[in-house]
Structure 1
Amino acid sequence: MAKNISVVVWSKEGCSYCNEVKEYLAEQNIAYKTIDVTNHDELRDILETKYGVRYVPVVEIGEGNTYKAVTEVGLEHLKAALEPAHV
């Protein structure tokens, strides 16, 4: 069971890596919000400003007043980032 964390998945339509991330979060019973960058270059501009990337998936994990982003592709990076948030 995860602590009270906030998870945001930046994704786009047809992205198999994005779907893999969402499926993993659902399997772990971790609620998340999705920001769909499909046809929204202005949202990609935000990713570039915040993290220096324009690709997805990007997963933001927030706990309390701090948050981190997973910009690397691969579930192992997401799992490592979520581990400290689990009880």
Structure 2
Amino acid sequence: MSETKTIVVWSRTGCHHCDEIKAYLQANKYAYELVDIEGRDYLRDILELKYGVRYVPVVEIGANGRFEAVLEKDYKRIEELVERNA
């Protein structure tokens, strides 16, 4: 069974930290899926259940439904998780 690496960015409109994370991923040619939480409090509820936070950006990196999250703008940690899930 082949593992498929997935990067998910939880973001919202007008969030400059979110824009910086997305620009970083694009500059490094990492494909990602976007979850826009703008006006969707139920998505913040999901973040709170999963990671104990209601803020963005949150970057999830994993494969086959198993993800680890980066809760701060930590590019080194993003790289570590991308390499681990390559």
- Judge same fold: TM > 0.5, yes or no: yes
Q: Percent of aligned pairs with the same residue?
A: 45
* Root mean square deviation of aligned Cα: 1.7
Alpha-carbon distance between aligned partners in 1 of 2:40 and 2:65, rounded to the nearest angstrom? 28
Alpha-carbon distance between aligned partners in 1 of 2:52 and 2:84, rounded to the nearest angstrom? 24
- The match for 1:12 is 12
Q: How does 1:57-72 map to 2 (within 5 A)?
A: 57-72=57-72
Q: How does 1:66-85 map to 2 (within 5 A)?
A: 66-85=66-85
Structure 2 gaps of 5+ residues are none
Structure 1 gaps of 5+ residues are none
- What is the TM-score with the length of structure 2 in the denominator? 0.83
Is the CA contact (8 Å cut-off) linking 2:60 and 2:69 kept in structure 1?
yes
Across the two proteins, how many residue pairs are aligned to each other? Answer: 84
- CA offsets 1:20-63 (integer angstroms, 9 cap, x no match): 11111111111111000111111000000000000000011112
- What is the TM-score with the length of structure 1 in the denominator? 0.82
